[in-house]
Structure formats: structure tokens, C-alpha cells
Amino acid sequence: MSANIGPRGVAVPTQLWLGTRQASSNGGTFPVINPATEQMLAEVADATSADWQHALDLADAAQTEWASVPPRRKQEILYEVFTQVTERAQDFADVMTAEMGKPVAEALGEVAYGAEYFRWFAEEAVRIPGRMAAAPAGNGTILVTRDPVGPVLAITPWNFPLAMATRKIAPALAAGCPIIVKPAAETPLTMLLLGEVIANAFRKFGVPEGVVSIVTTTDAAGLSSELMSDPRLRKITFTGSTPVGRLLVKQSAEHLQRASMELGGNAPFVVAADADLDLVLGCALQAKLRNGGQACIAANRFLVDESIAEAFVERLTEHMSGFTLGDGFDEGTKLGPVITATQRDRIATLVEDALAKGATATTGGSVPEGPGYFYPATVLVNLPENSAILSEEIFGPVATVTTFKTLEEGVERANATPFGLAAYGFSENVHTAQYLAQHLKAGMVGINRGAISDPAAPFGGIKASGYGREGGTEGIEEYLSPRYIAWT
């Protein structure tokens, strides 16, 4: 079964992928809604316990054979997936725009970024390290290899429905681990289309059944608790909220499963007095409005030296007021809808709280009439310290601007958060830039840059933003266990 999605009518599977085969579910179906129109796009299979248990059975059965596939062969398979995703870039972009809302141009950017993880980890598959050394005591040889951890469960979010999955799937496969993917119920279609591409590539190379399964369901809690209670599952990788991440970490303790957690953020964007405002404004729009602000590394809090704050706010307001709301398929749309009515209303409540406490909106600040889950690009100034929006992740197109007198004060306030995923700092002075790079406390720091994600770099946070890394040479280590052999 399939649904025709987008203006070009892309045929997208709507059933589960259990290995390279599609399967229906006794759980019925659930709807996928276009957030720009509030119209139903498709109904997809709503998996039950029997479905995800079958996926784990397949993964467990495939583990030994997949782990033994030569690294060069794994490289060829992953590169084939990269090639096929790239060839179907427009199809993937159309599906993402329809189910998630981002403008088509942004969706095409995500396809290129998401596909790159397959190419990057294809290259890493043949570079899994090991070491051999003489034992210091002189009584033999120390040999260290790295083995795949075993079957993996990946739970992915709705905001980047392709890239957040590929950066989990690709390293797992490169390391030799079968993987079960549970996409977000809001945006399952992109993953089901990826399942089709993976199935085609796997059939071409004769990959064993069950190496990748895609299980769509509205019962995420049931799926995770049941699969994680099974000792055959050896790793959980999750991108989402901190409260859910904490719960999954607790669940992983029973069988001591490996866990990678990419959780919430509250990224500061610190602008020193000597920053280049032209550069700052371009990067501010990237860091704030990419994906409509629905990104875990989106700039949440703009902290600006008071000597340039007025000029910064004036120019930021001018730029953000020009971001046209609309359907992502419409020419000229620069800002699509947010994902659901619930998320839109949450953003509105945070803004209303700040305004009620004395903040000022220099642009935006109110919900437009429907249909669609739209919220305008908004700039808030004069925010009281007790505004909830300063401490909570906004996940929407709202920029808060506060000022500081000294750089030390600005950095101290930037770090005054339980989160530590990303931070941004701007200065034209090498010493100031070095200070920002050294003292901003986050897993990722951008200096004079608003776009920091790179498949070749480790993505992840500290503190309440989680642990583990995705991408870079570090990303594959999350799916490998060191093994020590004492050799006489």
C-alpha cells in the first residue's frame, strides 16, 4: 500500500518495513497531517507488540551474519544507499515538506545533509580501529579489537525526519549492528520512503533479512519499554526531550544497554561589542529560523553587549519581519508552519507570558488566523528575568534579546542553564573569540558561525542535553565495544 504525497504525487509506502518486506499491522492505522493545511496526507500502519517483537527477532537472527560481512562490502552497501537517496532528493524533499512543513529548499538541504551520513559512515566502515602492543610486563601481547554492540533501537524525532535517522542508521550498519527505527508519529512518511530505498539497496547486495526494520506506531512508550526489557536489545539511541531521555536511561539500566541521548537545548548566542554585525545578523537568522526554530541547536537566547544592542535589535527585527509565512510548497515562503497545534499554542503561551510580565515584541507576537499551525517570526526585548521563555526551550521562530555590560557577565548568563547542547559566540577579536570558545559550556560551540552541524564532526551535548556523539570519527564508537585479547 502507498499514498501519493506532494504536488508531484510521490508514492510513499504506508506499511511497516520488517527487513526488506512491507507488512501490515493488526493495530490498524493512524493519520499523518499536513501542518500547513491541517488536511490528512495518509494513514500509516500502527504497529503493536507483535510487530516490534518480530522486528527484534529478525534483528537478533541477522546479527551474526551482518557483523561478519566484510567492511568493504558494508562500505559499498552504505554508499549505494547514499546514491539512491541523493538521486531521489526531490521525492524526499516533497514528502518532508508535506508532513513536516519546512519550505522545499530547506527540505532539499536536509536531504543532502542526511544522505551524507551514509557516505561518511561508508568511509568509516573500513577504518574501525584496533591496536596491538607488547604487554609492559613482557609476558605477552595486548590485542584490542572492536565488536558491534548488537541490535539497536533508534527513536527519532519529527523536526528532521530524515537526518536524525540517517545519523543513527548509518553508523550502526557500518559497525555491524542491525537496527530497529521508530520514527515520530507526526512524520513517519519520510522514514517509510527511506525504508524503500534501503530495501532496494539491500536486495541488490543480498543483505540478510532484518538488518533494518522501520516500525511506525502511536504507542512509543509500549514499544520502548517492551524492547528494552528484552536482553537481546543491546543499545538505545534517542533524540528528543530530556524528560523522555531520562526515562529511557532508567529503562536501559535493567539490562545495562548502551545508550546515546541527544536531548533538549537552550542555546545562547553571545554577541561581543566588537562583533561584525553583518556577519552576526546572517548567522542569527541561520541559528534561529532554520527549520522554523524547531531545532535542538536553535539559538534560544540572544545575549548582546549593551553598546550594540539597539542596532542589533533594529536590524534583527527588520530581517525577521520579512520572513513570509506560508505553505512550504508555495514560492516565496520563507517560514513554514510549526508541527502541531499543541506546539504552536505552547510557543504562543511562552510569548504571552513574557509580554504580560513587561516584555516588548518588536515584530510578531500573535497567532495568525488559520488554517495551518503557523506562528510568525517574533523578536522579544525588555524581558524580565522571570520570563519562562528565557529558561525553556522555545522550539519555534521566537528570538529573545537581553543585554550584558561585560563579556564575563554575558558568558556567565549564557552558561546559567541546565542544558549544554550548543552555544554560539561572535567577536572580531581573536582573544575575545578564544575566550568565548573556551568558556561557553556546551558540547558544540560555534564561533562566528550560525550553522555548526557537520557529518564529519561529533554532534552531542553535556549536562541535561544528554551524552554520546553522532557523526565524526566518534560516532561509530557508540555502536562498538572494545574487546581485549591477551596473547602469549
Q: Which residues are catalytic?
A: 262
Round to whole Å and give the CA distance between 305 and 284. 15
Question: Following DSSP, what letter does each residue of 376-424 receive, concatenated?
Answer: --EEEES--TT-GGGTS---SSEEEEEEESSHHHHHHHHT-SSEESEEE
Q: Which helix (H) or strand (E) holds 143?
A: strand 141-148
* 264 Cβ contact partners less than 8 Å away, ≥ 6 residues apart: 241, 242, 296, 393, 419, 421, 464, 465
Does the N-terminal peptide bond of residue 455 adopt cis geometry, omega within 30 degrees of 0?
no
Round to whole Å and give the CA distance between 369 and 61. 53
Round to whole Å and give the CA distance between 267 and 449. 13
Instruction: For helices 220-228 and 242-252, give the axis angle rounded to 10 degrees.
Output: 30
Question: Following DSSP, what letter does each residue of 106-121 receive, concatenated?
Answer: HHHHHHHHHHHHHHHH
Round to whole Å and give the CA distance between 16 and 192. 7
Maximum C-alpha span of the chain? 77
Joined together, the cell numbers standing for residue 111 give 536531504
User: What Rg value do the Cα atoms of the chain yield, rounded?
Assistant: 23
Residue 172, SS3 per DSSP: helix
